[in-house]
Amino acid sequence: MNRKAMYIAGAFCLLLFLVHACRKENNGSGNTAPDPYTLQLPPGFPEPVYDFSKNPLTKQGIALGRFMFYDFRLSRDSTVSCGFCHQQFAAFGHFDHALSHGVGGAQGSRSVPTIFNMIWQKAFMWDGGVNNLEIQPLTPLTDHNEMGVDLKELMGKMQQDPKYRRLFKEAFGSEEITSERMFKAITQFVATMVSGNSKYDSVMRKEPGVVFSEEEAAGYTIFQQKCAACHKEPLFTDLTYRSNGLPYLAALNDVGRMKITGNTADYLHFKVPSLRNILKSSPYMHDGRFFDIYQVFDFYDHGVQVTPSTDPLVKNGIPLSDQEKRQLYLFFNTLTDPSLIKNESLSEIQII
């Protein structure tokens, strides 16, 4: 081999060594760095408000988050997981349950909200009581009516589990298990719950061969005229808090956002939910009082109760004929996103 060839061969070997070395974390552990994950955002959506620079998505972080999301052992009596209440087929709401359920059969005071498209939100829960997506899991994990765990005890329990030690090492470079790492991983998984691929979206993107039927188009027009002021496209919510005229339920004693702000102007104000996947995510309203979308239509048509806090947009009700209700229903059906509710990468996995 001539000298030039030897130099080339030597340089190539050195390059291979450097590439391999760069894949190792510089912590002496010899762990390979987690693989970056690129989240595909729907065309026409705004930029997410969640700051990914502080919690970059990785395949291993998402896998860890998914594992914890479906692990019943994260609850006090190992009977409730995040996925127990946030069911994929129900657009990550809780199908057929008016109010949340927790350990020991405990019942909450609000319905389970859907948790897709969370990276476009600045505040969470029906009353906006949590303003950080990574902290959001803290409430259901520690609430005695939900999962009811003590975080310190949970961290110790997880630290004793060889599988958890391996998963945390793959995601974060060491076997150390902390609540911060746990919340970051769960957030990474939840961040992948993006809904923006329904028939409606295909129509808006003018995809070949996809159009609204005549009735769906009529429903879309009704939506634009009578619903869009609060349920703004493309998220189908303006993320504000409003009182929509629901009668107060003394049994629940829920005053809404006023509990957070202390401002009487926020009495009975709750977050405007997204209408995406609305036909998959019953029951409806913050207290789950309506199990059928036609009950919601009837409420807005003739059931709104006017109080000083009732939003001006609904004080006079929203008149809807039977034909308009049917057309709205058909349009709402175009907001169902199979890529969310049937996505295998989001589905429940075997834990043990």
Q: Is 124 helix (H, G, I), strand (E, B) or coil?
A: strand
In this prediction, residue 32 carries a pLDDT of: 85
User: Are the CB atoms for 257 and 311 separated by under 8 Å?
Assistant: no
Per-residue confidence in pLDDT tens, the chain, 352 aa: 444 444 444 444 444 444 444 444 444 455 689 999 999 999 999 999 999 999 999 999 999 999 999 999 999 999 999 999 999 999 999 998 999 999 999 999 999 999 999 999 999 999 999 999 999 999 999 999 999 999 999 999 999 999 999 999 999 999 999 999 999 999 999 999 999 999 999 999 999 999 999 999 999 999 999 999 999 999 999 999 999 999 999 999 999 999 999 999 999 999 999 999 999 999 999 999 999 999 999 999 999 999 999 999 999 999 999 999 999 999 999 999 999 999 999 999 988 7
- Say if residues 217 and 224 touch (Cβ distance below 8 Å): no
Q: Which structure tokens are listed for 33?
A: 């760095």
For residue 120, what pLDDT is reported? Answer: 99
Q: Which two tokens stand for residue 37?
A: 């994950």
Compute the C-alpha angle 343/347/348, nearest 5°: 175
Angle between helices 162-172 and 179-191 (to 10 degrees): 70
Residues 7 and 1: their CA atoms lie apart, in Å, by 10
Q: Number of helices (H) and strands (E) in the chain: give both, helices first.
A: 13, 2
For position 1, what pLDDT does the model report?
Answer: 46
Determine if the pTM surpasses 0.75.
yes
